Amino acid sequence: MDVTRIDQIAIAVEDLDEALAFYERAFGLTPAYRERVDSDGVEEAMLDVGGVYIQLLQATRDDSPIARYLAKHGPGLHHVGFGVRSVSDALDHLRDQEVALIDQEPRPGGGGHTVAFVHPKGTGGVLVELVENQGEDGDHEQGSEHDR
């Protein structure tokens, strides 16, 4: 498997507008983009910090993974996203290593990216998202639909 970068550090929040106001006031960070991902039941905002995103996630429905996480744990660190050249290849490698997976196949994620999640029981308690590289240099292409 070819991990190329830390793509994101995701934080579950109760109120996205309030969280964005805090991150701007406290750290001077503004969103690179914001979108609703109905398939995951979230609204997200991505804050670019030197090429690594802080992803703020708010639930948009009570049955979403973020809503369940917030109900159980409250706001806080949710997952770490690793950039990979190919999510499909990364999943094959992890299956060969007998690592527990949440997603068995790549799927669409926020920002038009291809993603898959690795189960925390296979990674020492950390939920990991695999995010397929978009540009040839291993970074996200700029100027896409969501400017990410």
Of 142, 129, 115, 136, the closest CA to residue 51 belongs to 142
Q: List, for residues 57-91, the tens digit of each pLDDT value.
A: 999 999 999 999 999 999 999 999 999 999 999 99
pLDDT of residue 140: 45
The CATH number of 3-132 is 3.10.180.10
Task: Map tokens 């690594």 to a residue.
Answer: 52
- 102 by Cβ neighbours in 10 Å (0-12 / 13-18 / 19+) ranks as middle
Q: Could you give the count of Cα atoms lying within 13 Å of 114 in the half-sphere of its Cβ?
A: 15
Predicted model pTM: 0.87
Asked if the model's pLDDT at residue 138 lies above 70, the reply is no
